[in-house]
Amino acid sequence: MNPYAKLTFLTSLMLGTTITASSNHWVSAWAGLEINTLAIIPLISKSHHPRAIEAAIKYFLVQAAASTLLLFSSMINAWHTGQWDITQLNHPTSSLLLTTAIAMKLGLVPFHFWFPEV
């Protein structure tokens, strides 16, 4: 892999983490998580081995499903509270979906079966 490309992906990874950690709005938190996902996939699949490509696809599918749950959770919360603010997570269904989405993204039990293979 080109050193400049690797530097770009690592910088994007740090930028996505910073955006996610410093966001007050659900959409900006989601955008930071997606930047992280798109930056890590080329780093996972850089060896061009079939197992690396399979791991990158598994990682992408799990992260996309978790991002969908995160957006759905924020939409339910906005529907019930009228606000898109992260600190106003009051509805129990949206809290459950957010916890599930974060558990999927982190590879926590019971959503951990994809993590060892990646």
Residue 38 lies in a domain: yes
Specify if 47 maps to a domain. yes
Residue 113 placed within a domain: no
Domain harbouring 23, CATH code: 1.10.287
Q: What angle do CA 93, 59, 110 make, to 5 degrees?
A: 45
Residue 1 pLDDT more than 80? no
Question: Into how many domains does the chain fold?
Answer: 1
* Range of the structural domain that residue 52 is part of: 3-106
For the purposes of burial, counting CB atoms within 10 Å of the CB of 92, is it exposed (0-12), middle (13-18) or buried (19 or more)?
exposed
User: Residue 114 falls within a domain, yes or no?
Assistant: no
Q: What is the pTM of this model?
A: 0.82
In a domain, 102, yes or no: yes
Sorting pLDDT into bands at 50, 70 and 90, what band is 50?
Answer: confident
Confidence band of 2 (pLDDT split at 50, 70, 90): confident
